[in-house]
């Protein structure tokens, strides 16, 4: 059988393969490099951008067929950010299924673990696809070649810069220094040249530069498209830029960016759960992946509902105990009695559980999260009163939410935090509030690491967290493929 060159950009290097490996499948609708080298059409450009969203999906088996050990059955956000933290356990009933998840949970994982491997491959596959789209859209003759309007070109390019930034945000926060690849890789020589880790500061600079460019390209409205509200919007760009400034501790830039969101139409929902059970009709969701049941020609449903039906993903005892009395966010997140993770299912009665083609969306950023970024930045700058006011705004929405049983929480629930001039005290309140508000939304481990308290918290939780665990290991398969050009994180 014929050998062929495949620019997988899982690492960013060219690999030579013989027959198609059984586990590997090409995504339907993906613009390939071979297609990219021909004269583009409006259809191929549209497809190239749309396919670049797919790596944010919870659809099962996007990159492989049931490659559990490789971490490729579903996105690993829940495993690496929630199970690995003090919030979540692998299953309701512990068993020997998928030991690679147990290794992540107890911090005995190595550089061959499927979690980091899957995360790396998802992110770089997304980057590969979006680089092809950007290469087309930045061609100065693209309008005359394809007939695309300037308005549509700018919208798609703004979406593309955001998506590349999002994938790099995931990579730099999980792995630190990573290869920075901003154009399609065409030759073996290029492949090995780019398989070198760029300093994380350079990666952050690129993320912010791309987002600032995207901000000027997208419509000044809540939705980029009224008929496709799932697409990247200016609000999503602003929010990711604010989050990037937060993670790089550029505190002064965060409040102003968050303040740009409300004029675009974002606000807190009256009910806490509305972001999870409705589809782009609420006030709060800033960016989500639009899962759709019975989509053709390729499934677009939320596959994470299937492992929920197999007993995966349960709250830790520590997570359950961390909620204040009568906080309605607990039952909205998880129902222990029925073993339903309501927030992940998008339902309160078990609907979607076990369905590998569920309609419930995956929420990536919402306004409550952004408000808490602002609170954190204000506190770090000494504006403790401003930070407390935002924390109390989040608490007020929670205590005035009709709970999952249809009741208003009793008086005294989630009382306002009092005034304080002690930044450490306010920071403690913020940490608690983020845990309750954003539980099971893939934020906990990232928060603990950026605050520098992951080791302390994990050891208190009985986990063997070491200093090296502040970063995940570069997948060993990627290092081997680069012939050692790609180096490993310390300690692995």
Average per-residue pLDDT in the chain? Answer: 92
- Widest distance between CA atoms in the chain: 72
Examine domains 1-218 and 250-442 and report if their fold is the same.
Answer: yes
Q: What is the pLDDT of residue 190?
A: 85
Q: Summarize pLDDT for 456-486 with one digit per residue, the tens.
A: 999 999 999 999 999 999 999 999 999 889 9
- pTM (two decimals): 0.93
250-442 has which CATH code?
A: 1.25.40.390
Q: Summarize pLDDT for 368-426 with one digit per residue, the tens.
A: 999 999 999 999 999 999 999 999 999 999 999 999 999 999 999 999 999 999 999 99
Q: What is the pLDDT of residue 18?
A: 27
CA distance 229 to 316: 35
Q: What is the pLDDT of residue 278?
A: 83
Domain ranges for the chain, please list them: 1-218, 250-442
- Give the end-to-end CA distance of the chain in Å, rounded to a whole number: 38
Q: Summarize pLDDT for 63-114 with one digit per residue, the tens.
A: 999 999 999 999 999 999 999 999 999 999 999 999 999 999 999 999 999 9
| Residue with token string 């030579």 | 16
> 312 pairs with which residues across the strands?
91
8 Å CB contact between 2 and 17: no
The CATH number for 1-218, chosen from 3.20.20.70, 3.30.1330.40, 1.25.40.390, 1.25.40.420, is: 1.25.40.390
């Amino acid at each position: 059988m014929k050998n062929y060159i495949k620019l997988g950009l899982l690492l960013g290097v060219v690999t030579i393969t013989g027959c198609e490996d059984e586990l590997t499948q090409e995504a339907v609708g993906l613009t390939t490099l071979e297609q990219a080298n021909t004269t583009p059409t409006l259809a191929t450009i549209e497809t190239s951008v749309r396919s670049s969203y797919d790596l944010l999906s919870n659809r099962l088996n996007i990159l492989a067929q049931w490659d559990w050990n490789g971490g490729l059955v579903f996105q690993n956000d829940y495993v690496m950010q929630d199970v690995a933290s003090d919030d979540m356990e692998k299953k309701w009933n512990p068993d020997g299924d998928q030991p690679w998840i147990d290794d992540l949970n107890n911090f005995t994982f190595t550089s061959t673990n499927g979690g980091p491997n899957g995360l790396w491959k998802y992110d770089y596959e997304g980057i590969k696809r979006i680089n092809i789209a950007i290469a087309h859209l930045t061609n100065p003759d693209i309008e005359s070649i394809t007939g695309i309007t300037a308005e549509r070109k700018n919208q798609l390019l703004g979406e593309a810069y955001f998506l590349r930034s999002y994938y790099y945000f995931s990579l730099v926060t999980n792995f630190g220094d990573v290869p920075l690849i901003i154009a399609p890789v065409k030759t073996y020589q290029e492949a090995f040249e780019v398989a070198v880790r760029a300093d994380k500061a350079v990666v952050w600079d690129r993320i912010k530069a791309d987002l600032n460019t995207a901000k000027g390209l997208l419509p000044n409205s809540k939705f980029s498209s009224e008929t496709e509200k799932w697409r990247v919007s200016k609000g999503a760009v602003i929010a990711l830029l604010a989050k990037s400034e937060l993670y790089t501790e550029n505190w002064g830039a965060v409040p102003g960016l968050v303040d740009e969101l409300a004029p675009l139409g974002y606000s807190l929902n009256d009910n806490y759960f509305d972001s999870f059970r409705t589809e782009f009709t609420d006030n709060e969701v800033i960016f989500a992946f639009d899962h759709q049941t019975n989509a053709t020609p390729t499934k677009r449903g939320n596959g994470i509902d299937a492992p929920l039906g197999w007993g995966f993903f349960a709250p830790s005892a520590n997570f359950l105990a961390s909620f204040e009395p009568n906080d309605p966010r607990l039952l909205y997140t998880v129902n222990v009695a029925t073993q339903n993770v309501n927030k992940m299912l998008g339902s309160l009665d078990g609907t979607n559980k076990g369905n590998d083609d569920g309609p419930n969306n995956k929420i990536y950023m919402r306004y409550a999260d952004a408000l808490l970024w602002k609170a954190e930045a204000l506190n770090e700058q000494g504006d403790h009163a401003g930070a407390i006011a935002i924390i109390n705004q989040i608490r007020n929405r929670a205590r005035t939410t009709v709970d999952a049983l249809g009741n208003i929480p009793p008086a005294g629930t989630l009382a306002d935090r009092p005034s304080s001039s002690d930044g450490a005290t306010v920071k403690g309140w913020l940490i608690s509030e983020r845990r309750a508000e954003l539980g099971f939304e893939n934020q906990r481990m990232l928060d603990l690491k950026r605050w520098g308290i992951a080791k302390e918290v994990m050891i208190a939780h009985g986990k063997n967290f070491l200093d090296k665990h502040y970063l995940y290991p570069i997948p060993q398969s990627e290092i081997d493929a680069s012939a050692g050009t790609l180096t490993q994180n310390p300690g692995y």
